[in-house]
Amino acid sequence: MGISDILSKVTGDKPIVLELDMARGVLAARPSNPLQALQLINSATLSGLRDHLRVAADDERVVGLIVHAVPTSVTLAHAEEVAGLVEEFGTKKKTMAWAESFGELTSGLGAYHLATAAQEIWLQPTGAVCIEGIELSVTLLKGLLNKVGVEPQFGQRYEYKTAANTYAADHVTEPQREMTTRLGQSIVESLVGDIARRRSLSADAVWEAVNDSPIEPERAKDLGLIDHIGYRDEAYTSVLTAWGVEPESLLFAQRYSNKAELAKKFRPKQPKIALVQLRGAIVTGRGARSVTGGQQAGADVVDEQLRAALRDDDVKAVVFSVDSPGGSAVASDFIRRSVLRLKEAGKPVVAHMESVAASGGYYVSMGANEIVAQATTLTGSIGVLAGKMVTAGLYDKLGLIRETVDIGAAAGTFSSAHEFSEADWERLNRFLDRVYLDFTTFAAADRGMAYDDLERLARGRVWTGADAKEGGLVDHIGGSASPSSAPPRWPGSTSTRSA
């Protein structure tokens, strides 16, 4: 019995309709703890969907894809990538999306945006199209902190580097209001543009629907926002009959496989594209779970993975997947250096920005040959901040006595026991100026821009991927340049796939 016979027995030849249930979630990264792993045991992975849907699109057994497009905890950027995969799959196969409701007293814009990637949309008779846009909120904690005797003191470069405003500002500044407004506007503009294109509607018509939400099913159908009204069983019966397949043909997309996938195991050794992932706050050393439960990306670990790609002669290029709000400047520069070494060695690097690649997340990405982001990715934030929480007042309120003894003129600069002195502020500002100059100078060089042009886009301002592309901070809007679901071959989260 030959390999083809074995493969035929394993996979069979009956028609298949794939299902993607967004209610189960889509796992963009490995579970961070055993409980999360159990909760997501039946969830699709983003890397798996990339591979499976692309392979399935060329599989003669696969007839189509049904998507349960409901609001989930999946970020807008990741949902945007899933939508792109569904739309790409639909160029070769049949697709349908359905939902009980696109939001219920909550915004369903992201879920509806995903649904429009399918060729037809079904909505339950009691549901609605709730695409009322998004609301961004700014909360300032300084008043509360002052009440308990804590005085936040931070320096920043420059006016748009507003992360510390949460603690240190006593009012919403105009730059923060301007930036936040533009972020929200850009996100909704991007989603509205996609919806209009996919549904063959004008952008004005979609904006009218956004502003008039929620929209009941009959009116949504009249407006061209959906195609059919019916319950799940009616939607499935209709499309499966139209597609000429039986209900038994349904298979979750994450469980799909075919003989081409199995045949890869019999291929001779091939060149590889390495996938290196960076997730969480960037820190020096190896990183760990932070005390607040957040994920950390240790620069030593990421550097080891990039150096492993550098040493491996079979690796011809690297996809650097980044999902990070930033962190240590020196750790970020350490990682950037490893990216530049790969480029110098003739191994192109493509940075793939996921939900967030801002501040340090942008720092580690900017040296890549190409940068790919989603339209709703948050990026940029080329700037720096640093400071401390002064707790002297809290100690006084609690009746505690604290006395510090400083040995050295700069000792205690960042001590919470006292406010910054004039000399302390001078030291802090000197540090901030130096880091900001390094960051902006390197960014201008990496992006091939004049310094003044780059600096106008810097100043700590956060951009959406769509606006960042317009300004030249990223190169492309889209999904992962080289997906991979292969098991790790190097320490940590590095994996490879055939080129």
**pLDDT tens series, the chain, 499 aa:** 343 343 344 445 789 999 999 888 888 776 665 665 555 566 788 888 888 899 999 999 999 999 999 888 889 999 999 999 999 999 999 999 999 999 887 889 999 999 999 999 999 999 999 998 888 999 999 999 999 999 999 999 999 999 999 999 999 999 999 999 999 999 999 999 999 999 999 999 999 999 999 999 999 999 999 999 999 999 999 999 999 998 888 888 878 876 555 455 445 567 899 999 999 999 999 887 655 556 899 999 999 999 999 999 999 999 999 999 999 999 999 999 999 999 999 999 999 999 999 999 999 999 999 999 999 999 999 999 999 999 999 999 999 999 888 888 888 999 999 999 999 999 999 999 999 999 999 999 999 999 999 999 999 999 999 999 999 999 999 865 333 333 333 333 333 332 2
In order, the DSSP letters of 199-213 are TT--HHHHHHHHHT-
- Distance separating alpha carbons of residues 314 and 308, to the nearest angstrom: 11
- Give me the helix-helix angle, 174-198 and 203-211, nearest 10°: 120
Task: Please determine whether the domains at 9-132+213-264 and 268-498 fall in the same fold group of CATH.
Answer: yes
Q: How confident is the model at residue 71, as a pLDDT? A: 81
Return the ∠ at Cα 54 (arms to 379 and 229), rounded to 5°: 85
- Distance separating alpha carbons of residues 467 and 350, to the nearest angstrom: 19
E strand or H helix at 431: helix 422-447
* 489 close to 496: Cβ distance less than 8 angstroms: yes
* 46 close to 82: Cβ distance less than 8 angstroms: yes
E strand or H helix at 353: strand 349-358
Q: Residue 374 gets which letter from DSSP?
A: -
Phi, psi of 426 (to 5 degrees): -60, -45
- Distance separating alpha carbons of residues 69 and 112, to the nearest angstrom: 7
Q: How confident is the model at residue 37, as a pLDDT? A: 59
* 348 close to 120: Cβ distance less than 8 angstroms: no
Longest distance between any two alpha carbons in the chain, whole Å: 84
HSE (side-chain half, CA atoms, 13 Å) at 230: 15
Query: For residue 318, what are the β-bridge partners?
Result: 274, 349
The helix/strand/coil state of 485 is: coil
Q: Tell me the Cα Rg of the chain.
A: 25
Domain coordinates of the chain in residue numbers? 9-132+213-264, 268-498
- Distance separating alpha carbons of residues 360 and 456, to the nearest angstrom: 18
Fold designation for 9-132+213-264: 2-enoyl-CoA Hydratase; Chain A, domain 1 (3.90.226)
Residues in the chain: 499
- Distance separating alpha carbons of residues 487 and 25, to the nearest angstrom: 21
E strand or H helix at 16: strand 16-21
Residue 9 CA to chain centroid, in angstroms?
A: 39
Q: Which value, to the nearest 10 degrees, does the dihedral of the CA atoms of residues 373, 375, 380, 381 take?
A: -130
pTM confidence score: 0.85
* 464 close to 473: Cβ distance less than 8 angstroms: no
Q: How confident is the model at residue 464, as a pLDDT? A: 97
Burial of 392 (0-12, 13-18, 19+ CB in 10 A): middle
Q: Which two tokens stand for residue 374?
A: 């989603």
- Distance separating alpha carbons of residues 371 and 351, to the nearest angstrom: 5
* CA-based nearest residue to 383, from 482, 460, 444: 460
Q: Which residues contact 42 (CB under 8 A, 6 or more apart)?
A: 24, 252, 254
Q: How far apart are the first and last CA of the chain?
A: 30
Q: Which residues contact 166 (CB under 8 A, 6 or more apart)?
A: 139, 140, 141
Phi, psi of 208 (to 5 degrees): -65, -40
E strand or H helix at 382: none
Q: Domain 268-498 belongs to what architecture? A: Alpha-Beta Complex (3.90)
* 169 close to 450: Cβ distance less than 8 angstroms: no
Q: How confident is the model at residue 11, as a pLDDT? A: 43
- Distance separating alpha carbons of residues 286 and 284, to the nearest angstrom: 7
